[in-house]
Structure 1
Amino acid sequence: MAYYSIKELEHLSGIKAHTLRIWEQRYNLLQPKRTDTNIRYYDDADLKNLLNVALLYQEGYKISKIAQLPPTEIAQEVMKLTDTDLGQEQFINQLIVAMVELDEVLFERVLHRAILQLGFPVSVRQVVYPFLYKIGMLWQTANITPAHEHFMSQLIRQKMLVAIDGLPIPSGKKSPRVILFLPEGELHELSLLFAHYLLRSAGFSTLYLGQHLPLADLVRAAQQYQPAYLFSVLTTPVLKVSVLEYLKQLSEEVSAQEVLVCGAQLNSYAQEDMPAKVVLSKSLDALELWIQKVSEAKIEAELL
């Protein structure tokens, strides 16, 4: 069982710690436990109930009325709401509940509902990415185990694969060619999959090589595929050399016009730090602008 501080509950629920303390004192809505050293903490059941309470509260339910309901009835009210259109925070809160509970039915139901309501790319941008950002704190405080991470990432991954599979494969030789890959040792694939979706949606020809690709294998693949661009994500510190050394080696050994990179390992760098041909993309907006720029340049070239 995970232990949460009131600040972590604030971060995950979006309800200020000051408000949570008032709810605790006035309505007995939260019942903190104490460690042997008298430090207050909350458990998974508290987090799940609070996220459900937050959803009802954001939907206009009075907190005094919510507090009179047992957790089972609060959960039932939430299930009724998930059959109607939800807002961004409600989707995110329900995904957190499903992840903490390892509840595949709820996770699938909420994610499917978000995609139906918002469309796939918008649901990734407005629900999936903010959800991943929120639960980042849980990884840092060891409140999420590898089982939780694999559970939710595989369900999101399945949705992305279905969305990509539904796109036509560009057949024209004039479509810009892109190889997508993760460096050797890198396994966090969700951002790479979404980039694959965006690129293929925009008419790029893509060769998806996935996780944990040694540089020598990438070089051989590029010699055969002849890409105009490379795309990669550097999330965890798994490289045997520095990030800049790896990118320099990559740009020198693989023939491509540009190497587009993003990820947490690049947060402390600016574009001027990058080796030749390497383009730093620090947000989804930046990636989509780059795709738009390349697409427009292709159209202009065809008109000449």
Structure 2
Amino acid sequence: MNNALQLSIAAVERDTGLSKDTLRIWEKRYGFPTPQRDGQGERTYPVDQVERLRLIKRLLDVGHRPGRVVSLPAQDLLALAERSADAQGLLPGQVRRRGQTAAPEANDGDGVLARWTGSPAGHPTLPPGPHIDWVHTCLLAVDQHDLIAVRRALRRALAQEGIARFITSVVNPLMVAMGDGWLRGRFQVQQEHAVSQAVQQALCAALHQLPLPQADDAPRVVLSTLPGEAHGLGLLAAEAWLTLLGAHPINLGPQTPLWDLVQSAEALQADVLAVSFTAAAPAPLVQDTLTELRSKLPRHVALWAGGQHPLLHRRPPADITVLGQISDLSTTVQSWRQAHPRRVPSAA
């Protein structure tokens, strides 16, 4: 690999999802990465170290601790990645199949989603036909670097499955399978990014087909992530799910500063502020920052935290509702409405 190319610390942060502070801490604590310095004394990173950092980030995302993996050589990281993929129940070449995720109607609360499992408004439902494993179809297209075929499959899946099933039976298992494939070396990072972008485009198209929220729809839910959490795919999925439930989602996009979140909750008259975390989010972000956010929000504004971060489920901060799966929004919204009957229109 040609190491002549050097990336700045800002470029590495964008490319890997690892913050600048994390990179500096690892350099001091674990002796990796080992950046060089440019003419201005700023850190620069050769591309082989960036590739290794990407692999470390993926291992963190599936639950490994920095102290175990950061100092490992590249070959040991690859071996660990293979074992980690095996531990998730996948044999080489296999992907997760449809049907492993519970159907959304099973956790639908008041049945709002039943109207939307066929097709979104403006999308005709395709006539019955042979079963199509959309995830498998997309993965085969990714293998061929045929991103147009991926986009075409996602559009057809959305039309045939409807938005709710599209999220639970296509989007979620597809992104899991892409991550597992990346761990095994089946896919490159640019393929994963391209699929993520295609899924985001499909979700945006679905949202445009749904009716806009009404002023009195409740709860009003402001969606975002905290600085350091750059992933916006979960926010789009939550926005779509909340819209299906007749709530009023307001998506600010990722990485909104804490005080801006507090001010937005007040300015937008939010009933709920919902933030999400990836599995590899720093522990202080999940515990300290989330606790600080709760302390600064008015008591009448509920705080929901979504994602699979272990700390959310082992030691959730006080007075915060934790959602592990996107479908958990159904019962959580229903519970909120039961606790706030005066805020819910009679037709909801």
Q: Which has the higher contact order (CA 8 A, sep 6+)?
A: 2
Give the structure 2 partner of residue 261 of structure 1.
Answer: 305
Q: Cα distance 1:130–1:85, how it changes in 2: closer, same or farther (>3 A)? A: farther
* In 2, Cα distance between equivalents of 1:91 and 1:149: 16
- TM-score with structure 1 setting the length: 0.66
Give the structure 1 partner of residue 29 of structure 2.
Answer: none
Letter in 2 for 1:223: E
Structure 1 residues 169-188: aligned runs within 5 Å: 169-173=212-216, 175-188=218-231
Whether the aligned pair in 2 keeps the contact of 1:257 and 1:277 (CA below 8 Å) is: no
* In 2, Cα distance between equivalents of 1:13 and 1:293: 32
Whether the aligned pair in 2 keeps the contact of 1:180 and 1:232 (CA below 8 Å) is: yes
- TM-score with structure 2 setting the length: 0.59
Give the structure 2 partner of residue 27 of structure 1.
Answer: none
Give the structure 1 partner of residue 129 of structure 2.
Answer: 85
- The reply on whether 1:294 has 2:343 as its aligned counterpart is no
Identity %: 24
Cα deviation, residue 174, structure 1:
5.7
- The reply on whether 1:280 has 2:322 as its aligned counterpart is yes
* In 2, Cα distance between equivalents of 1:93 and 1:205: 34
Q: Cα distance 1:220–1:95, how it changes in 2: closer, same or farther (>3 A)? A: same
Give the structure 2 partner of residue 158 of structure 1.
Answer: 201
Cα deviation, residue 252, structure 1:
0.9
* In 2, Cα distance between equivalents of 1:303 and 1:134: 41
Instruction: Tell which structure's C-alpha radius of gyration is larger.
Output: 1
The CA RMSD measured in Å over matched residues stands at 3.1
Q: Deviations over 1:145-196 (max 9, x none)?
A: 2211221011110111111122222233463211000111212222211111
* In 2, Cα distance between equivalents of 1:140 and 1:203: 38
Q: Cα distance 1:301–1:243, how it changes in 2: closer, same or farther (>3 A)? A: closer
* In 2, Cα distance between equivalents of 1:270 and 1:179: 22
Whether the aligned pair in 2 keeps the contact of 1:184 and 1:239 (CA below 8 Å) is: no
Whether the aligned pair in 2 keeps the contact of 1:99 and 1:151 (CA below 8 Å) is: no
> Paired residue for 1:107, among 150, 153, 172?
150
* In 2, Cα distance between equivalents of 1:249 and 1:94: 44
How many residues are aligned here? 232
SS in 2 for 1:85: coil
* In 1, Cα distance between equivalents of 2:308 and 2:343: 35
Q: Deviations over 1:16-72 (max 9, x none)?
A: xxxxxxxxxxxxxxxxxxxxxxxxxxxxxxxxxxxxxxxxxxxxxxxxxxxxxxxxx
Letter in 1 for 2:94: H
Structure 1 residues 1-304: aligned runs within 5 Å: 8-12=91-95, 85-87=129-131, 90-173=133-216, 175-239=218-282, 241-255=284-298, 256-265=300-309, 267-270=310-313, 273-299=315-341
Letter in 2 for 1:9: P
Q: Cα distance 1:146–1:296, how it changes in 2: closer, same or farther (>3 A)? A: same
Letter in 2 for 1:195: A
Whether the aligned pair in 1 keeps the contact of 2:286 and 2:312 (CA below 8 Å) is: no
Q: Cα distance 1:258–1:191, how it changes in 2: closer, same or farther (>3 A)? A: same
SS in 1 for 2:294: helix
SS in 1 for 2:218: coil
Whether the aligned pair in 1 keeps the contact of 2:323 and 2:329 (CA below 8 Å) is: yes
Moved over 6 A (4+): 3-7
* In 1, Cα distance between equivalents of 2:332 and 2:189: 34
Whether the aligned pair in 2 keeps the contact of 1:98 and 1:104 (CA below 8 Å) is: yes
Q: Cα distance 1:297–1:269, how it changes in 2: closer, same or farther (>3 A)? A: closer
SS in 2 for 1:233: strand
* In 2, Cα distance between equivalents of 1:302 and 1:236: 34
* In 2, Cα distance between equivalents of 1:129 and 1:153: 11
Q: Deviations over 1:207-252 (max 9, x none)?
A: 2111121212212222311311011110153448241112111111
Bigger CA drift: 285-294 or 225-234?
A: 285-294
* In 2, Cα distance between equivalents of 1:217 and 1:257: 15
Q: Which runs of 5+ in 1 are unaligned?
A: 15-82
Bigger CA drift: 254-263 or 106-115?
A: 254-263
